[in-house]
């Protein structure tokens, strides 16, 4: 009778790191990583040595020095005596403003144009095709400059409105003036790290608004559970609307909310909120340009849905608009969102072309005037790249979270 025993285990030898397929790939990766880190170390050491020879040791102390230049479009208080750090923050807010407005406008236009491209009306479908091909095949920089030229040449000068009754919104070749929200019983501001001020009134309003939205969502989820359990869906739209609107209006009334209208004084308008032509031109150009790409994404997502889904919905008696909003688009979102993220990132990065029309974003402030005044090329460019990296990763994280939420979930 024979017994079977396991063969003795082979002892580990250094040669196995090269000749054994179980370890070879790991060895190559480790060697490549070490080589890459050595290369990065040599570049950093060489750069630091060259800067030291020039008497420009890496330092970020220049951020606390007075900036010495003005920024025409800003969301917070700023003067030429403010620090470079505050100037960079003003530019960052301007970048975020354009990116936020652009993403919203481009999404709305892109969805509408993408749906209309599939219209059975030949004329409408062809017009949308011309729009898409016209915008996406011309560089975005040309659209920005062209839009700026149109705003300057077509809109009237402020002096034209002298002695003329103006409305709450005034369009001029220097920009658009809209009513400014003011508070008679405001709570004031508070300083954050001594770098910028935050409005307490705005924080209170946003807290109440988002609280109402959260409560309205809870009511909707409860209605969904009731519908799943009983088959009947309770009417809750008025409750959800009230949870959002009523507390917000009450807070605005308590703070003494009113609107400050622009008035012509001298050669220009005073009061109100001034949206300069540079901001409008950049926003419109980026939105119209990006909308052409989003339209194609939406069209591809809709065409990816089986035509049988549309026929089944029509057989149930649903109208075309209801079929699109309830059946087709919810399923197409899973195809649309991943490439949509890339277009949001491209729009945000394309906003760095703002300096072409004089709009002071983070590239124009930190990567432009601050760089030229201080001579700190390495520090300013590193900070600039870090800002865009954080913005891009934040957009990706939010959109990926939304992408996960719209995926089909198996019961």
Give the tens place of pLDDT for each residue, 354-403.
Answer: 888 989 999 989 888 898 888 888 889 899 999 999 999 999 999 888 88
The pairing of strands 263-265 and 268-270 is antiparallel
Of the chain, the end-to-end C-alpha distance in Å amounts to: 56
Quote the pLDDT of residue 163. Answer: 63
- Name which of 39-43, 196-200, 210-214 the model is least confident about: 196-200
Name the range with the highest mean pLDDT among 214-223, 267-276, 317-326. Answer: 214-223
Segment 89-94 mean pLDDT: 90
Closest of 249, 236, 237 to residue 209, by C-alpha: 249
**What's the rounded Cα separation, in Å, for the pair 195 and 15?**
59
Q: Are 347 and 99 in contact (CB under 8 A)?
A: yes
Alpha-carbon distances of 193 from 59, 79, 85, 198, 290, rounded to whole Å: 20, 18, 11, 11, 37
Q: What's the confidence (pLDDT) of residue 107?
A: 93
Tokens of 365: 């402030």
What does the pLDDT read at residue 400? 87
- Average pLDDT of the residues of the chain: 84
pLDDT of residue 7: 60
Determine what percent of the chain is predicted with pLDDT higher than 90: 27
Per CATH, domain 62-135+275-405 is 3.40.50.2000: no
SS3 164: coil
Q: Which residue has the tokens 């300083």?
A: 191
Q: What is the pLDDT of residue 301?
A: 87
Question: 259 has which bridge partners?
Answer: 181
Confidence check: pLDDT of 91 > 60:
yes
pLDDT given for residue 104 in this prediction: 94
Strands 189-192 and 170-172: unpaired
**What pLDDT is stored for residue 258 in this prediction?**
84
Tokens at 77, concatenated: 């208080």
pLDDT of residue 2: 53
Q: How far, in Å, CA of 200 to CA of 215, rounded? A: 22
- With beta carbons less than 8 A apart as the criterion, state whether 344 and 399 touch: yes
Least confident piece of the model among 107-111, 262-266, 280-284, 290-294: 262-266
Mean pLDDT of 341-360: 91
Q: Which of 294, 296, 312 is nearest to 304 (CA)?
A: 296
- CA angle, 72 then 83 then 280, to 5°: 20
pLDDT of residue 165: 66
Report how far residue 207's alpha carbon sits from residue 213's, in angstroms, rounded to the nearest whole number.
Answer: 10
Residue 176: per-residue pLDDT: 87
CA dist., res. 174 & res. 151, Å (int): 8
pLDDT for res 62: 84
Instruction: Please tell me the least confidently modeled range out of 262-266, 293-297, 379-383, 389-393.
Output: 262-266
Residue 94 has pLDDT above 70, yes or no: yes
333 pLDDT tier (thresholds 50, 70, 90): confident
pLDDT score, position 348: 93
Percentages (nearest 5) of helix, strand, coil residues in the chain:
65, 10, 25
Residue-wise pLDDT for 219-255, tens only, equals 888 888 888 888 787 888 888 989 899 999 998 888 8
**pLDDT at residue 289, rounded to an integer:** 95
DSSP string, 89-155: HHHHHHHHHHHHHHHHHHHHHHHHHHHHTT-S-HHHHHHHHHHHHHHHTS-HHHHHHHHHHHHHHHS
Express each pLDDT in 113-157 by its tens digit.
Answer: 998 998 888 899 999 999 999 998 999 999 999 999 999 888 888
Q: Which pLDDT band, with edges at 50, 70 and 90, does 336 fall under?
A: confident
Residue spans of the domains in the chain: they are: 62-135+275-405
pLDDT greater at residue 297 or residue 184: 297
Q: Give the per-residue pLDDT at 343.
A: 93
Helix, strand or coil, per DSSP, at residue 408: coil
What is the average per-residue pLDDT within 176-186?
A: 83
The pLDDT value recorded for residue 190 is: 67
Q: What is the pLDDT of residue 193?
A: 57
């Amino acid at each position: 009778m024979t017994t079977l025993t396991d063969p003795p285990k082979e002892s580990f030898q250094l040669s196995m790191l090269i000749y054994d397929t179980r370890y070879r790939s790991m060895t190559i990766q480790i060697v490549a990583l070490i080589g890459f880190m050595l290369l990065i170390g040599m570049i950093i050491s060489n750069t630091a040595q060259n800067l030291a020879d020039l008497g420009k040791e890496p330092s970020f102390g220049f951020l606390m020095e007075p900036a010495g230049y003005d920024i025409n479009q800003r969301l917070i208080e700023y003067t030429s005596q403010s620090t470079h750090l505050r100037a960079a923050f003003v530019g960052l807010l301007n970048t975020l403003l354009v990116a936020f407005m652009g993403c919203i406008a481009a999404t709305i236009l892109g969805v509408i144009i993408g749906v209309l491209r599939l219209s059975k009306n030949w004329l409408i479908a062809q017009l949308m095709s011309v729009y898409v091909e016209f915008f996406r095949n011309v560089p975005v920089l040309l659209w920005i400059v062209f839009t700026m030229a149109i705003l300057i040449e077509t809109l009237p000068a402020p002096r034209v409105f002298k002695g003329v009754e103006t409305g709450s919104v005034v369009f001029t070749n220097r920009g658009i003036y809209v009513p400014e929200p003011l508070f008679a019983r405001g709570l004031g501001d508070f300083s954050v790290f001594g770098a910028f001020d935050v409005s307490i009134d705005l924080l209170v309003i946003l807290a109440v608004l988002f609280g109402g939205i959260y409560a309205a969502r809870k009511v909707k989820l409860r209605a969904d559970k009731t519908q799943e359990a009983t088959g009947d869906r309770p009417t809750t739209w008025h409750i959800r609307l009230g949870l959002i609107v009523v507390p917000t209006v009450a807070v605005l009334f308590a703070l003494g909310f009113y609107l400050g209208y622009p008035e012509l004084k001298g050669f220009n308008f005073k009061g109100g909120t001034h949206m300069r032509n540079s901001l409008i031109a950049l926003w419109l150009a980026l939105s119209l340009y990006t909308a052409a790409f989003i339209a194609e994404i939406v069209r591809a997502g809709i065409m990816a849905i089986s035509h049988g889904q549309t026929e089944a919905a029509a057989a149930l008696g649903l109208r075309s608009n209801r079929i699109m909003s309830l059946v087709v688009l919810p399923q197409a979102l899973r195809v649309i969102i991943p490439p949509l993220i890339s277009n949001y990132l491209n729009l945000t990065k394309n906003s760095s072309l703002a300096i072409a029309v004089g709009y002071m974003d983070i590239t124009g402030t930190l990567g432009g005037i601050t760089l030229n005044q201080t001579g700190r090329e390495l520090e300013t460019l590193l900070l600039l790249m870090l800002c865009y990296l954080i913005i891009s990763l934040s957009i990706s994280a939010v959109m990926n979270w939304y992408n996960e939420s719209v995926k089909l979930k198996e019961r």
